[in-house]
Amino acid sequence: MIVKVLFILVMIGTCVVCKPRFTIGGIFYEDAEDLKQAFNVSAKMFKFNTLVAEVPRTGEFLQISGHVCEFAKAGVVGIIDAVGGLATELIQALCDTLEIPLITIQQNDFYLKDWTLINLYPSPDAFNNLLTQLITTKGWKNFTLLYVKGHSMSNVHKLLEMSTQSDNMFTVTVRELSGDDYRDVLTEAKDSGYVNFVVDCPSANLEQILCQAQQVSLMSDEHSYIFVSPDLFTLDMSRYRYGGVNMTGFRLVELQDNNPLWEFTSSYNAEAPNILQPENLKTEVLLIYDAVLMLSDALTKVNVTTQELDCEKYGSWAYGSTLLNFMKTSKAEGLTKSFHFDGFGQRNNVMIDVLELTPAGNQSIATWSDNSLNMSRPKVLATEIGEETIMKNKTFKVLISKTAPYGYIRESIFKLEGNDRYEGFTIDLIDKLSDLLGFNYEFELEDVYGNQLPNGTWTGMISKIRDDKADFAICDLTITTERQKGIDFSTPFMSLGISILYKEPSKQPPEMFSFMAVFSKEVWYYMVFVQLALGVIMIFVGRISNKEWQNPVPCVEQPEELNNQFSFANSVWLIIGSVMQQGSEIAPIALAPRIITSVWWFFTMVMVASYVGTLVAFLTVEKDVMPFTTVDELYEQKHIAYGAKTTGSTIDFFKYSTNPKYKEMHNKMVSKGWVVTDNDIGVDKAEKGNYAFFMESTSIEYTKERHCDLIQVGGLLDSKNYGIGMKKQSPYKRYIDSALLLLKERGEIQKLKEIWWKEKRGGGKCGEKRDEEQKKLGMRNMLGAFVVLGVGCLIGLLISILDMLWGVFKRSVKYGTTFKFELIEELKFALKFSGDIKPVKRQPKELSVIENDLDLEKKDEIMSLRSARSTDTHRTHRSHGSRHSSRSLSVAFARRRQYT
């Protein structure tokens, strides 16, 4: 017996020792540390040896073939490609020849259906189908597709087709996000009134898009987003949770009861600098694990022996295609759920969780599997809302408050009764909800919104709802954590934040040097730099252009020296003359300086026109001089009082703030009696001056429409929402939520807001306040002119160099010297940048023998007559003998010019 057991143990031991450790290769970008780490960790977990190849992001893909051949030589059983794009095509072509299984984890932009690889990233078909079904379920009739420049649109191409469908029900707008700053595009989208967005971008851009969308106020309760990237909910979304924005995203991983995920995460964290939670692991990281798992799973079922392959010999691995086909057909389970591939290795049938961001965190609302969307959240559809709901024909008591514009007492000469006594935004909103849900209502006034007292009891509306004295509370009732302990709130119907209401200060005339403010600082700096640089270029180009070297004495045919007008002083004078629009006497002669001068004139024309056009506004617009522009500045100063409503979420913000400055401000407001009992008193005080009133931005918007001398100072101190209050666990919540969402999606709430803010009860009195603040002209506005100048200078420079080379060549032939010698001579002279006189070069002696025989005095006379007619004789040569007489003629001519 003992012998038998020992024998079995020895056999097991031997098998463990003899089991070969296979090697797998991984190709990564150099900086993809997380993926390399996931690869090494997973390989360790599944007992593989690894070979890692790194490639730069600059696209030097040729070295990739070298890496694949090295892997083949080492006898790998599979290659994992984390690079994607064109590189995948290259790797795949080689793996195809070598018959090494290739698993890629990147979105396949070059989706060709004859590839012999496995792509673990869900196929574009899956995303396209999911997105179209989701948009149809959401009932969007129009949406904007935001995509990042350079990112493949293969996942969303079906959405573009939605607008061309025969029934033409969808309006699809496409906007490209490029560069680092997307705010211009996002602001444009906001101004165009777009509210539904589908965002397709690499996971690396998600954070930036979210942040910038929030900065341009595109994250309020009226906006809805669908993010295509399955990494949305790997980010920390806490800052967007309470803004009311509707955000939908996808997730591939199952977080519940997923032991392998926890094991992988702890092994991954053991090697990582930061500890990550399973939900924070990026999809690519999970897919690396899944790729290794797939290989390991296949190798336990298919018996293979490794083989060292040589790319040069076009060898192939005998087991490669069997292994690949096995992986394509086996329906293994990974971190990203079960793998189903079509015959081309594309992961079409994929399971995806559809999540939505709610104030309570992420919530799964649907699942995508077997090519269909199964909604898991009971969403009351628009068509169902009007039908038999449990609210139909019931009568509810609704608490309202007398706070403009949410609730007013109706003014009438008749005696009004019941609900007719009231009007306002919330009264109309309840009316619309009752139309949708079929209930009746009865209003009751209650001006105290309510909160919890230290003894645990509740006040105002909250207490009435808790005690069943009322069913709903609707006014500017802010959703707060404290109130949420006592009652439930509906989905938000309006988003806001605390800001400051203050009297507009008197205007001050522009400053003494406001004419300088037309251009931004950088434009001025570039102008000065460009002028200096152009001065140098003009001198250089002038010196190397043959035609610029002129005979100073036109009547002397063979002068001793030639003259050049492009001295430093002249060049600068020409440049400044054109900036000042005055011109100068200096006129370039050669082609190159003429081109450069022309583009400079064009540049100055554009700059001067832009300057003059904008200057008037800068000299006339008077500016507000604000005593403070932020809360911090308000806190620092001693002369202005500030306050908020005595009870409510605004004063509570200061009271419970962890910021000591805000706490101190609260103490000061209370101790000095600066708090007020309602918003109207606060507005009156602000209007009298020297009083800053902290108010909710929605109420500030309303006040500004009616009190034209009041303005909002600074941004929002926080971000919150109004909701309809109701009893905890209210059975009506889901109906109210759905009806509110429907009203939001139809734009009804926005319409009501326009009416009650800008039209009724004195709205629209102040009109649109013109933003008189003049915008400086920055480099962004003037860049075109600088580019034209730069290109023109380059062309001029090129032509002048060609001109110089031609002159050098001619001289080298004429004087029997080498081209190089003449070129060095010419450059040495040109680059001296000094001396505008150039001695004329003489011919070697042998060549001048014949000329020596001539009567030189006579020849000079004849030639000088000729040269008087021609102005562009520039290079002459002459003999020793004529030198004396020519010089004396030049001197005589110069003297004569001086005297006349």
The residue among 320 and 486 lying less far from ligand GLU, judged by its C-beta, is 486
Q: How far is the CB of 458 from ligand GLU (least distance, A)?
A: 13
The residue among 577 and 714 lying less far from ligand GLU, judged by its C-beta, is 714
Size of the site for ligand GLU (CB under 6 A): 10
Sign of CA dihedral 862, 864, 869, 875: positive
Position among 535, 643, 648, 796 found at the interface with ligand GLU (CB under 6 A): 648
Residue 408 · residue 453 · CB < 8 Å: no
Q: CB under 6 A: which stretch of 314-322, 472-480, 503-511, 758-766 binds ligand GLU?
A: 472-480
Q: How far is the CB of 654 from ligand GLU (least distance, A)?
A: 10
Q: CB under 6 A: which stretch of 215-223, 343-351, 606-614, 642-650 binds ligand GLU?
A: 642-650
Question: Interface mask (CB under 6 A) for ligand GLU, residues 657-696, using x and -?
Answer: --------------------------------------xx
How far apart are the C-alpha atoms of 544 and 804, rounded to whole Å?
A: 5
H or E stretch including 604?
helix 591-620
The residue among 614 and 650 lying less far from ligand GLU, judged by its C-beta, is 650
Q: How far is the CB of 245 from ligand GLU (least distance, A)?
A: 20
Q: Which amino acid makes up residue 115? A: W
Tell me the CA distances in angstroms from 48 to 22, 26, 487, one per residue in order.
5, 12, 56
The residue among 290 and 476 lying less far from ligand GLU, judged by its C-beta, is 476
Residue 575 · residue 538 · CB < 8 Å: yes
In sequence order, the β-bridge partners of residue 499 are 695
Q: CB under 6 A: which stretch of 647-655, 657-665, 822-830, 841-849 binds ligand GLU?
A: 647-655
Q: How far is the CB of 486 from ligand GLU (least distance, A)?
A: 13
Q: Which amino acid makes up residue 450? A: G
The residue among 116 and 679 lying less far from ligand GLU, judged by its C-beta, is 679
Residue 800 · residue 593 · CB < 8 Å: yes
Residue 39 · residue 50 · CB < 8 Å: yes
Q: Is residue 698 near ligand GLU by the rule CB under 6 A?
A: no
The pair of structure tokens assigned to 718 is 């926080």
Q: How far is the CB of 683 from ligand GLU (least distance, A)?
A: 12
Q: CB under 6 A: which stretch of 215-223, 474-482, 536-544, 735-743 binds ligand GLU?
A: 474-482
In sequence order, the β-bridge partners of residue 147 are 176, 200
Q: How far is the CB of 712 from ligand GLU (least distance, A)?
A: 14
In sequence order, the β-bridge partners of residue 364 are 355
Q: CB under 6 A: which stretch of 219-227, 457-465, 533-541, 646-654 binds ligand GLU?
A: 646-654
Tell me the CA distances in angstroms from 721 to 172, 398, 422, 724, 812, one per residue in order.
29, 19, 24, 10, 84
Q: CB under 6 A: which stretch of 35-43, 633-641, 643-651, 739-747 binds ligand GLU?
A: 643-651
Position among 42, 248, 564, 649 found at the interface with ligand GLU (CB under 6 A): 649
Name 375's Cβ contacts closer than 8 Å, sequence gap at least 6: 137, 365, 366
Residue 517 · residue 632 · CB < 8 Å: no
Q: How many CB atoms lie within 10 A of CB 601?
A: 16
> Residue-wise over 166-182: b if at least 16 C-beta within 10 A, else e?
eeeebebeebebeeeeb
The residue among 655 and 814 lying less far from ligand GLU, judged by its C-beta, is 655
Q: How far is the CB of 479 from ligand GLU (least distance, A)?
A: 9
Reading across the β-sheet that carries 102-104, which strands appear in turn?
Answer: 49-55, 23-29, 78-81, 102-104, 118-122, 346-347
Percentage helix, strand, coil for the chain under 3-state DSSP, each rounded to 5: 45, 15, 35
Position among 148, 247, 477, 501 found at the interface with ligand GLU (CB under 6 A): 477
Sign of CA dihedral 218, 221, 224, 230: positive
Q: CB under 6 A: which stretch of 103-111, 475-483, 655-663, 879-887 binds ligand GLU?
A: 475-483
β-pairing, 440-445 with 395-400?
parallel
DSSP string, 485-538: HHSEE-S-SEEE-EEEEEEPPPEEPPPTTGGGGGB-HHHHHHHHHHHHHHHHHH
The residue among 22 and 691 lying less far from ligand GLU, judged by its C-beta, is 691
Q: How far is the CB of 699 from ligand GLU (least distance, A)?
A: 7
Q: How far is the CB of 471 from ligand GLU (least distance, A)?
A: 18
Place of tokens 């809360």: 631
Q: CB under 6 A: which stretch of 538-546, 613-621, 648-656, 771-779 binds ligand GLU?
A: 648-656
Tell me the CA distances in angstroms from 760 to 407, 682, 752, one per residue in order.
12, 21, 10
The residue among 368 and 694 lying less far from ligand GLU, judged by its C-beta, is 694
Position among 471, 476, 557, 803 found at the interface with ligand GLU (CB under 6 A): 476
The residue among 575 and 695 lying less far from ligand GLU, judged by its C-beta, is 695
Position among 107, 128, 478, 774 found at the interface with ligand GLU (CB under 6 A): 478
Quick one: DSSP state of residue 380?
A: P
Classified as helix, coil or strand, 225 is: strand
β-pairing, 142-148 with 333-334?
unpaired
Position among 296, 650, 697, 879 found at the interface with ligand GLU (CB under 6 A): 650
Q: CB under 6 A: which stretch of 470-478, 664-672, 730-738, 889-897 binds ligand GLU?
A: 470-478
Residue 348 · residue 266 · CB < 8 Å: no
Binding positions for L-glutamate:
478, 483, 649-650, 696
Q: How far is the CB of 631 from ligand GLU (least distance, A)?
A: 15
Q: How far is the CB of 646 from ligand GLU (least distance, A)?
A: 9
Quick one: DSSP state of residue 356?
A: E
The residue among 501 and 530 lying less far from ligand GLU, judged by its C-beta, is 501
Position among 464, 645, 685, 706 found at the interface with ligand GLU (CB under 6 A): 645
Q: How far is the CB of 478 from ligand GLU (least distance, A)?
A: 4
Q: CB under 6 A: which stretch of 10-18, 416-424, 471-479, 610-618 binds ligand GLU?
A: 471-479
The residue among 127 and 493 lying less far from ligand GLU, judged by its C-beta, is 493
In terms of Cα–Cα distance, which of 602, 623, 670 is closest to 642?
670
Binding positions:
478, 483, 649-650, 696
Q: CB under 6 A: which stretch of 115-123, 207-215, 423-431, 473-481 binds ligand GLU?
A: 473-481
The residue among 213 and 404 lying less far from ligand GLU, judged by its C-beta, is 404
Residue 352 · residue 132 · CB < 8 Å: no
Q: CA torsion 465→469→473→475, rounded to 10°?
A: -120
Q: How far is the CB of 649 from ligand GLU (least distance, A)?
A: 4
Find the binding residues for ligand GLU in span 405-464 (CB under 6 A): 449
Q: How far is the CB of 443 from ligand GLU (least distance, A)?
A: 18
Residue 700 · residue 712 · CB < 8 Å: yes
Q: How far is the CB of 403 from ligand GLU (least distance, A)?
A: 8
| Residue closest to ligand GLU when measured from CB atoms | 648
Q: How many CB atoms lie within 10 A of CB 309?
A: 23
How far apart are the C-alpha atoms of 847 and 816, rounded to whole Å?
A: 10
Question: Interface mask (CB under 6 A) for ligand GLU, residues 296-325, using x and -?
Answer: ------------------------------
Binding site for ligand GLU (CB under 6 A): 449, 476-478, 645, 648-650, 695-696
